[in-house]
């Protein structure tokens, strides 16, 4: 069994309505799909959206296909539960990509730069078949192929980016260090423990990207 992490770059005409709305709204950064299914032409998805909850709700309210939704705001964005009709020509993304032995391993990440990042697991020949199934309007960038089952790590959140930027500008990463974690926490207006946690998570992602490479 093999795992394959890919980034799909969409040409503008190939975007789904929700992904297009994400790209066009300055108040939204990205959506991380945590799980979903489609039953009898209705797709149900749970996700986390980084950005302003009201901006994302406006996208849902404008779509006739949306049958039901619930939004729970948090510090970095909001958790979202959505049920929507796929329509006669529609097909669940999870179903479209998961062919034969291939399954999609959540999370799936839609970003405002018209990209989607995900991990596929399956037999090598079936993974290659999935790559060949994407339309010409979608450019596929295979970032990593490995033996065994892995999952895609999402990019750092906007709050984690703020922590990294503050730490960098305050000289936290200079040698010798110009300011410590307390200064980073003051800049972010949060507890020292919160600033430390934000930096650890962001740093873990950065180190993973550097050391991961192509397996």
Q: Which ranges of the chain does DSSP label H, i.e. alpha helix?
A: 17-24, 53-61, 93-97, 124-133, 158-169, 181-188, 192-212
- CA 62/CA 149 separation, integer angstroms: 38
pLDDT (0 to 100) of residue 56: 96
pLDDT (0 to 100) of residue 73: 92
Judge whether 126 and 132 are in contact, CB under 8 Å: no
Statement: the pTM of the whole predicted model exceeds 0.75: no
Q: Tell me the pLDDT of the chain (215 aa) as tens digits.
A: 888 989 999 998 888 888 999 999 999 988 999 988 888 889 999 999 988 999 999 999 988 999 999 999 987 789 999 999 986 555 666 666 767 788 888 888 999 999 999 899 999 999 988 888 888 888 999 988 888 776 655 566 778 888 899 999 999 989 888 999 999 999 999 988 888 888 887 887 777 665 554 43
| Chain-centroid distance, C-alpha 25 | 16
């Amino acid at each position: 069994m093999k795992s394959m992490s890919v980034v799909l770059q969409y040409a503008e005409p190939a975007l789904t309505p929700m992904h297009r709305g994400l790209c066009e709204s300055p108040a939204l950064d990205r959506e991380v799909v945590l799980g979903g299914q489609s039953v009898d032409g209705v797709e149900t998805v749970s996700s986390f959206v980084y950005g302003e909850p009201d901006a994302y709700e406006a996208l849902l309210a404008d779509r006739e296909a949306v049958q039901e939704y619930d939004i729970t705001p948090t510090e970095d964005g909001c958790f979202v539960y959505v049920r929507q009709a796929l329509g006669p020509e529609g097909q669940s993304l999870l179903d479209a990509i998961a062919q034969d032995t291939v399954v999609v391993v959540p999370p799936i990440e839609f970003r405002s730069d018209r990209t989607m990042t995900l991990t596929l697991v399956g037999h090598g020949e079936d993974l290659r078949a999935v790559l060949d199934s994407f339309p010409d309007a979608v450019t596929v960038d295979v970032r990593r192929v490995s033996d065994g089952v892995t999952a895609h790590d999402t990019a750092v959140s906007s709050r984690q980016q703020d922590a990294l930027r503050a730490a960098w500008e305050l000289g936290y990463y200079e040698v010798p260090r110009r300011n410590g974690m307390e200064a980073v926490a003051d800049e972010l207006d949060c507890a020292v423990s919160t600033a430390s946690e934000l930096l650890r998570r962001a740093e873990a992602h950065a180190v993973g990207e550097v050391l991961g490479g192509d397996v």
